Structure 1
Amino acid sequence: MGEVLQDKLLVIPNEENTGFAPGHNQAIAATNSEYVLVLNPDVTLDPRYIEILVTYLEENPEVGSATGKLLLKSNPEVVDSTGLVMNKACRAFDRGAGEPASLWSESGLVFGVSGAAAFYSRKMIEDISIDGEFFDSDFFAYKEDVDVAWRAHILGWQSYYHAEAIGYHARGWKKGGRHRQPLFIRRASYINRYKMMYKNGDRRRWFLSLFHMIPYEVASNAYFILREPKVLGAWKSFGKEFKRLKSKRKAILAKNRFPINL
């Protein structure tokens, strides 16, 4: 490692792969900066990306997270993400994914930010952490950024998309590659949605969203029963972690300031 990097980088070695959430919690705990950038290794940022987001958050303290315009590295004319959006069936998506970048030149508030290049304020991190955890360590991988976005939203924090901050995402997956993923990853992607729904939702919201959720739940779980039944084994982990999930749900709902309109 070069001399310049030696003075600026802290490398934290782990003996095993603990997953995205625990690993990032470990890194965040080792810092004391006012802002934290969570950055995937396949993302490249324009030189002013961080400067632009710092300036905006400094001027808008009610905003706890921000993202720029993430473009596909393989085709910079196409959007990878301009933030996260959640529909009435509690499904989260990268906003604008696959659309022309020229359509997303307007900055504004969003539901949340993609964990590929997420910028968080320390104040928000400390405010919404549960039992000292920012990312839920029960989420080994997948949807931990959505979980944070949802929790932050109902605890009163805003999230912002700044169109002038540009990043490029190489993406480690390809369309049609789901079946090549390890089973434990597919299980995590499936069950983590239910974990965050249980933790962050409330009965009133489920009642209002029921009409939209039932068709998707029937279709989705029918698919898994017929095509990927082993994925449904993920419910075992939900059962094992239920007491912790219940405790986290209680802590979150006790602090709930602004229930999200799904």
Structure 2
Amino acid sequence: MVFRLAGGTASDHPSVCAYIRLDHGLFSSQAFTIEKRTSMKLAIQIVLYHRSKHFMKLLASLEKSDLQYFELFCYENSVNQEEFRKSKSILEASGLIHHILTGNRNIGFGNAHNALWRLHEAPFVLLLNDDAWLTPLFLEKALQRMEADQKTAAVSGLLYRWDGSADPCATAGTFIDTAGLEYNCLADIRDRFAGQTMKDIGDALQEPKEIFGVSGAIALLRRSAVERVSPEQLPFDPSFFMYKEDVDLAIRLRRGGFISWYEPMAVAFHQRGLKLGTKTWFARIQEERKRPKVLRQASLLNQWKLDIYHASVKLGWRDIFKSMVHEAKRKVLTFLSSPTVFFFAAEAFIISLPATIRRRRLLKQLLPDVRLSGASTRGEEGSRAS
């Protein structure tokens, strides 16, 4: 059912608005039509979840961007009409060209982005968390890095940890949230330098650098590359409700022969729930226990799916051995700290195993098995939180 659809072009109105209610929480291209303007170079996708109080800050940062030829595509995932009305009102007040969808159930982070992906044909897409804040040069510098090489499929900027204060720039130079993903082994792909400070790492982040992949919190993607490595021509695995979908995408892009880059001039800020500087596995699991059980189960389940999707002798025996050890530690510590999470995740994995194996076969038809180690920097500490 169409909740509201207001037509027009950017020249007709200061903002083009589409407000759409999806009865089943799933997108159908037959449900409505939005004009797909081929001139739109950049689409910005935002998944909202009980974040209306932070949304205004995010839009204010986009209004100040040096680059303004973009459209916003938002999915309100809160399943709360008051939140939807607040988000809609904030979008209208911003004057930015925008479209917003909602549904009657939470379809998860990945599927919300998949639904938004189908709404447009922009060659470049920025996935943006609702708890993020961009500096004015972020869009321009990230796009410049993307366009410098046709093999570049994803770009990450330098993301600092943000406490939600009025002035995010006051935290610049303090704790790093992520500078892209690094690959240690198939079972251990993490955010580069997460929880460290610029003082800790010296000059390691001063220059652009090829990296393994990008965090889904703030990620610039090339549409053609993403669709080339997906059976559904979508960014994320539809079976992933939340967590690890960006890791899966990074692996698929690498298997497809594409590269990812870190651009230090693209600076942004991101609020993250995990404790800063968490190093040990036990401390990490204890911190994870503060999250809702359903989300912890999703993280564990999706990691096991990743192992099935991408395991291959091409990884090398060292990678396979490290992954086995890492997975054994993960299972033991998860079981000791939260047995119910472990058993529910294990049950869900067994139920989903036939579909997981079918998807592995689809990926093998689509993408070659490749060695993944050596595709990212070494000696960097970090933690995978999304």
Range that drifts further, 239-248 or 150-159: 239-248
Range that drifts further, 164-173 or 3-12: 3-12
Deviations 1:5-30 (A, max 9, x none): 46611001111111001100001111
RMSD value over aligned CA atoms? Answer: 2.0
* Pairs within 5 Å for 1:197-208: 197-205=307-315, 207-208=317-318
| Post-superposition offset of 1:200 | 1.8
CA distance in 2, matches of 1:258, 1:246: 15
Structure 1 residue 62 and structure 2 residue 159: aligned? no
CA distance in 2, matches of 1:224, 1:72: 26
**Letter of the aligned partner of 1:53 in structure 2?**
A
CA distance in 1, matches of 2:341, 2:115: 29
- Return closer, same or farther for 1:245/1:133 CA change in 2, 3 Å cut-off: farther
CA distance in 2, matches of 1:222, 1:7: 49
* Pairs within 5 Å for 1:2-41: 5=94, 8-41=97-130
Structure 1 unaligned blocks of 5 or more: none
Tell me the equivalent position of 1:141. 242
Tell me the equivalent position of 2:358. 247
CA distance in 2, matches of 1:58, 1:145: 21
Tell me the equivalent position of 1:229. 339
| Post-superposition offset of 1:128 | 1.3
Q: Percent identical across equivalent pairs? A: 27
Structure 2 length normalisation: TM-score? 0.64
- Kept after mapping to 1: 8 A contact 2:157/2:267: yes
- Kept after mapping to 2: 8 A contact 1:153/1:260: no
Alignment partner for residue 323 of structure 2, among 185, 195, 213? 213
- Kept after mapping to 2: 8 A contact 1:21/1:137: yes
Structure 1 length normalisation: TM-score? 0.92
Larger of the two Rg values belongs to structure: 2
* Pairs within 5 Å for 1:173-212: 173-174=274-275, 177-205=287-315, 207-212=317-322
- Kept after mapping to 2: 8 A contact 1:186/1:231: yes
Structure 2 unaligned blocks of 5 or more: 1-88, 164-170, 277-285, 374-386
- Return closer, same or farther for 1:64/1:225 CA change in 2, 3 Å cut-off: same
CA distance in 1, matches of 2:308, 2:316: 10
- Kept after mapping to 2: 8 A contact 1:108/1:161: yes
Q: 2:196 aligns to what SS in structure 1? A: coil
CA distance in 1, matches of 2:111, 2:238: 5
Tell me the equivalent position of 1:112. 213
Q: Which runs of 4+ in 1 moved over 6 A?
A: none
Deviations 1:122-148 (A, max 9, x none): 111221122243201211111110010
